[in-house]
Amino acid sequence: MQTFNSIMQELTPWVALLPIWVAGSIIASLFVLWMWLRSRRRLQYLLMDLDSVRNDLRAMTSSALGMGGRVLKIEKQQEHIKHQPPVQAVRDRESRSALQAAKSSANNKGTRIASAQVKEADRTVAAPRANVVNFRPVVEDYAAHPYDYAIQLARHGASINDIMYQSGIGQNEAKLIHMLHTVDKAS
């Protein structure tokens, strides 16, 4: 028994410290649990932020695709405008073809068009051309500013449809620009 008593005497200081150890272990366990809950909550916030960033990225990607399509459409219009003759040249061709058609129909009927009528028709075709000298603005300058191009078209006598088609603006804007910037023919 001696040995048991001696063992108990040696363990007595340690047994006295046992409640302190248990309390320390509980505090350490609670601290670890608090850190784990905190990191888990932070992870949930980070996952929510990640979802938000994913949604923003999806929105930006879809809008970029939409803008890419619009840029391609504008580039096609620009390419079409580059290869299109100036507005005044198209009108001159149309007027001359109408004059030629009138001449040929008159010749086919056996009648003659008076030379004064021919001179008057030539004057009406040439009159707008005297005011417009090779109007063909550089498309690249106006690609970023379609309203500047539309104003130039209006100043050189383009119709509302021509302004809409060539500059890519809407009908109401084209009407307004045409109304504000077309040279009044009565004055």
Model confidence pLDDT, tens digit, residues 21-36: 899 999 999 999 999 9
72-104 pLDDT tens trace: 788 888 887 777 666 555 556 666 666 666 666
- Flag the least confident range among 20-29, 70-79, 119-128, 176-185: 119-128
Q: What is the pTM of this model?
A: 0.31
Residue 131: which pLDDT band, with cuts at 50, 70 and 90? Answer: very low
Q: Report the alpha-carbon distance of residue 62 to residue 151 in Å, rounded.
A: 33
For residues 130 and 159, the answer to whether their CB atoms sit within 8 Å is no
Position of tokens 């932070």?
42
Could you tell me which residues come within 8 angstroms of residue 85 by beta carbon, excluding any fewer than 6 positions away?
93
**Which run of H or E residues covers position 23?**
helix 2-82
Residue 132: which pLDDT band, with cuts at 50, 70 and 90? Answer: very low
Could you tell me which residues come within 8 angstroms of residue 92 by beta carbon, excluding any fewer than 6 positions away?
125, 129
Q: At what angle do helices 115-131 and 87-109 cross, to 10 degrees?
A: 180
Q: Is the pLDDT of residue 63 over 80?
A: no
Q: At what angle do helices 146-155 and 160-167 cross, to 10 degrees?
A: 150
Q: Report the alpha-carbon distance of residue 170 to residue 81 in Å, rounded.
A: 17
The identity of residue 73, as a single letter, is K
pLDDT of residue 91: 58
pLDDT of residue 82: 73
